Amino acid sequence: MSGRGVWLRTRARLRRFPALLADCGEQAAAYGRCVAAAAGGTAELRRDACLEEFRALRDCFARAVGPGAG
């Protein structure tokens, strides 16, 4: 039994990701700014410090690659 078909489908799906996720740039930038600010200087990055931004990015990704997308 060969897994070749599985790998071909996986590679094809991964190749589509950049185009699918291109519309999430604003959310990705906001999350990156938040993480950079939260971890800047001598501050230690704390869990959930950027939870709102992370959820917005995660939701954008889910919409981009979810059922009916692409």
- For the beta carbon of residue 64, count every other beta carbon within 10 angstroms: 17
Residue 49 CB: number of other CB atoms within 10 A?
16
Share the mean pLDDT of the chain.
86
Using pLDDT thresholds of 50, 70 and 90, give the confidence band for residue 36: very high
9-18, 41-50, 56-65 — which one is most confidently predicted on average? 56-65
Q: Which long-range contacts (CB under 8 A, 24 or more apart) does 24-27 make?
A: 24/57, 24/60, 24/61, 24/64, 27/53, 27/56, 27/57, 27/60
Share of the chain above pLDDT 70, in %: 93
- Indicate if the alpha-carbon torsion angle 24, 26, 32, 35 is positive or negative: negative
